[in-house]
Amino acid sequence: MEFAKLGTSGVEVSRVALGTWAIGGWLWGGTDVEQSVRTIHAAVDMGITTIDTAPVYGFGLSEEILAEALGRRQVPREKVVIATKFGMEWDEQQNTWRNARPERIRREIDDSLRRLRTDYIDLYQIHWPDPNTPIAETAQVVKELYEAGKVRAIGVCNYSVEQLDEWRRHAPLHSVQPRYNLLERQIEKDVLPYCREHGLAVLAYSPLARGLLTGKFTANPNFKPGDSRQTDRRFTGENYERNLRIVEKLKVMAAEKGKTVAQLAVRWVLDQPGVTVALWGARTPAQIQEAAGVSGWRLSQDDLARIETILNEADQEAAR
């Protein structure tokens, strides 16, 4: 397993982290708690130290499963880096909305600490920008939590460069969590260069594009009820057909290296300058064990050029 520092925080993270959105079950068609516990155990066994969760993942369930799994194994608290989030609220009907007001954050961190069975969080991240709360107010209360020792590092998710600038005027910032994968590269224009310039760690979420880059999907995907990929534009219409063509070509390239297409896709993310961590989402032991094949090698310049050619050819075909 490869490791890196989380920006200027001093926290050391595994460069492949376990992402637990699917483990929470929300928008993934439910979850199997015992299987989820085994998945977390498999991640720990293979040397993954960093686990990313959030209160809204299963409305507390993902955090609770993580605590249960670590508790059963009696994993020493200092041996795991727990990253969780704040700023999403929900009701009994599972409607969700953004809320990053100070009073909400103070309540949320106590709820997360209780569910996670810990007295501090290694990385505390705002989940989405809240358009109804000034960033200064949110940043100030998180700064207070950081100075009180409840939080070891501060992160933001899904922030623009302008929002990053505003946050940094009011509080420390150690990491940024954006969506980033071979098929979705918008952050290369602004957020990624900004993070490189200012020494911010980048935790790339969805490096497998919600499973699309695992190579396990066919022309007619079959999703469980409640799985939001049924209406995800990446999995429908011409977009999906284009993505499948790309994946088939990447499969050939990966096989030549003795790798799976998922391992190739995540290695590509990790090899991009400025990327610190890739969040590998999994809900079975086999899914996370595949991540072992990501570490210990790099893509050459020729490999990177070949991948660019595959992507460009797919764009040209789609434009015809």
d(Cα 120, Cα 150) in Å, to the nearest integer? 4
Q: Where are the domains of the chain?
A: 3-211+272-296
Which has the higher per-residue pLDDT, 203 or 318? Answer: 203
Kindly report whether the global pTM for this prediction surpasses the value 0.75: yes
> In terms of DSSP bridges, do strands 121-126 and 151-157 run parallel, antiparallel, or are they unpaired?
parallel
pLDDT of residue 240: 76
Query: How far is Cα 67 from Cα 119, in angstroms, rounded to an integer?
Result: 12
Decide if 129 contacts 159 (C-beta within 8 A). yes
Is residue 258 over pLDDT 60? yes
Give CA separation, 241 vs 106, 206, 247, 314, in Å: 45, 19, 10, 10
DSSP annotation of 171 reads: S
Mean pLDDT of the chain: 92
Span 14-49, pLDDT tens digits: 999 999 988 876 665 677 889 999 999 999 999 999
Q: Is the pLDDT reported for residue 71 higher than 80? A: yes
Residues belonging to the active site: 57
Query: Could you tell me the CATH superfamily of domain 3-211+272-296?
Result: NADP-dependent oxidoreductase domain (3.20.20.100)
Given this model, what pLDDT does residue 219 score? 60
pLDDT number for residue 191: 98
Q: State the average pLDDT over residues 199-206.
A: 97
Give a three-class secondary structure readout of the chain. Answer: CCEEECCCCCCEEECEEEECHHHHCCCECCCCHHHHHHHHHHHHHCCCCEEECCCCCCCCHHHHHHHHHHHHHCCCHHHCEEEEEECEEECCCCCEEECCCHHHHHHHHHHHHHHHCCCCEEEEEECCCCCCCCHHHHHHHHHHHHHCCCEEEEEEECCCHHHHHHHHCCCCCCEEECECECCECHHHHCHHHHHHHHCCEEEEECCCCCCHHHCCCCCCCCCCCCEHHHHCHHHCHHHHHHHHHHHHHHHHHHHHCCCCHHHHHHHHHHCCCCCCEEEEECCCHHHHHHHHHHCCCCCCHHHHHHHHHHHHHHHHHHHC
- According to DSSP, residue 41 is labeled H
pLDDT tens, residue by residue, 286-304: 999 999 999 999 999 999 9
pLDDT digits (tens, 9 = 90+) for 140-187: 999 999 999 999 999 999 999 999 999 999 999 999 999 999 999 999
Reported confidence tier of residue 226, pLDDT bands at 50, 70, 90? low
Average pLDDT over residues 80-109: 94
The answer on pLDDT for 264 being more than 90 is yes
State the pLDDT confidence band at 94, using cuts at 50, 70 and 90.
confident
What is the structure's pLDDT at 102? Answer: 97
Taking the C-alpha atoms of residue 254 and residue 277, their distance in angstroms, rounded to an integer, is: 21
**pLDDT for 316:** 75
